[in-house]
Amino acid sequence: MNHDRRGPELPPARGPISAAVTEYLRGAGALPRPEEADGADPYGDDLQLALYLCYELHYRGFADVSPEREWDPDLLRVRAALERRFLSALRADTPVHDSLDDALAALLVEPVDGTGVSHFLRDEGELWQLREYAAQRSLYHLKEADPHAWVLPRLWGTAKAAMAAVEFDEWGGGRADRVHARLFADLMTDLGLDTAYGRYLDAASPEVLATVNLMSLFGLHRELRGALVGHFASVEITSSPGSRRLAEAMRRTGAGPAAEFFYDEHVEADAVHEQVVRHEVIGGLLAEEPHLAADIAFGIDATEYLEGRLAARLLGDWRAGRTSLRLPLPAGTAHTC
């Protein structure tokens, strides 16, 4: 796994807003006016990349970008405008369940026709499609569990203890070689992918950027702590069956032992995490703050909405025989049996 302490290079812009943000981070040019966000496509390349760039300053940052930019007040004003546009669209577009119980119950319902991404990859996915899937998901998995850690100072009691326990597992239980980000880098190596953090940002679709930005949006705002817990519940509750199918896809295509292990590990771990999140994280939070039930439900539903958009993009492209990436992957040598 590549540990470049300088962070990744800034990617090329995808429109006027991300261009202005990129140039500002380089120390040249003016930021876009906050009101420019009002006319941007909330799910489009330009806004999602600009928002991703702002958020990434709170993680590892970018090469040759001053750490002081993390709390630059002018940049934060622009970020707030981008967030308002994104969050307003999510609140308007997300199909919302009537209650938290209904939202949680929906997570347990598997697609009747088996048309999800993990079903496709298990049944007919080819190695090139698994490589694309891993490249896109690397934007999250190489910092797996980190966005959810923002909520820990905003919880207390049972919810905090349970959330910390699940996060501890995600970070390897104290073992660096078992940190899930490390395991995903090993998966990428099996697939012949570059494991450098942020390497595939330029190739990633806006749909996958939105799924990562959602975590940062929820995590970085205390008022959205309930939504972040809802997002976490969605991820953990749906992970085990999806991971089982992806492990089968890796085995069927001969992707390699590390590629199989990453998803096998999540089948077992996330089956346990599901119960902890449902009963102790959510249950503990509601015992302290019952008024957050609607926010938790919104977090679940918004997560599923954006994951549905990503699935439509991936499956639409793959079934048409074309890449799901903005830029094709360079040739790589994947593991062979």
- Statement to judge: residues 140 and 252 lie in one domain: yes
Q: Does 245 lie in the same domain as 114?
A: yes
User: What pLDDT shows up at residue 119?
Assistant: 96
Residue with token string 């104290």: 174
Whether 329 is in a domain gets the answer no
- The two tokens of residue 235 are 């991820």
Does 186 share its domain with 313?
Answer: yes
What's the one-letter identity of residue 327?
L
Same domain (yes/no): 33, 134 = no
pLDDT for the residue 331: 74
**50-89 burial: b if 16+ Cβ within 10 Å, else e:** bbbbbbbbeebbbeebeeebeebeebeebbebbbebbbeb
111 within domain boundaries: yes
Residues 183 and 227 placed together within one structural domain of the fold: yes
Tokens of 47: 């806004």
The residue out of 72, 93, 114 marking a domain boundary is 93
Per the rule left: phi > 0, alpha: psi between -120 and 50, beta: everything else, 212 is alpha
The whole-number pLDDT of residue 337 equals 46
Chain mean position to CA 335: 26
The answer on 138 and 62 residing in a single domain is: no
The reply to whether 130 falls in a domain is yes
Model pLDDT, residue 258: 97
Is 224 within a domain? Answer: yes
> Which CATH number is 284's domain given?
1.20.910.10
* Same domain? 150 vs 279: yes
Which pLDDT score is estimated for 113?
A: 63
Final residue in a domain of this structure, among 77, 93, 109: 93
332 belongs to a structural domain? no
Are 107 and 86 contained in the same domain? no
Structural domain contains residue 330? no
* Whether 135 and 282 share a structural domain: yes
d(CA 248, CA 260): 8
Q: Is residue 9 part of a domain?
A: no
Query: What is the full per-residue pLDDT of the chain (337 aa) written as tens digits?
Result: 555 567 899 999 999 999 999 999 999 889 999 999 999 999 999 999 999 999 999 999 999 999 999 999 999 999 999 999 999 999 999 999 999 999 999 998 876 567 899 999 999 999 999 999 999 999 999 999 999 999 999 999 999 999 999 999 999 999 999 999 999 999 999 999 999 999 999 999 999 999 999 999 999 999 999 999 999 999 999 888 999 999 999 999 999 999 999 999 888 776 778 889 999 999 999 999 999 999 999 999 999 999 999 999 999 999 999 999 999 998 765 565 4
- Count of domains for the chain: 2
Each residue of 45-79: pLDDT tens digit?
999 999 999 999 999 999 999 999 999 999 999 99
Residues 135 and 208 in one domain: yes
Query: What would the pLDDT profile of 5-55 be if each residue is shown by its tens digit?
Result: 678 999 999 999 999 999 999 998 899 999 999 999 999 999 999 999 999
Same domain, 108 and 81: no
81 lies in the same domain as 109: no
Task: Give the integer Cα–Cα distance in Å for 288 and 203.
Answer: 43
d(Cα 86, Cα 96) in Å, to the nearest integer?
Answer: 17
What is the end-to-end Cα distance of the chain in Å, rounded?
22
| pLDDT at residue 6, rounded to an integer | 74
Is 2 part of any domain? no
* Separation CA 306–CA 42 (nearest Å): 12
Cite the beta strand spans of the chain per DSSP E.
none
Domain residue limits at 21: 16-93
Give the end of a domain, one of 93, 115, 143: 93
Tokens representing residue 193 in the block: 């992918």
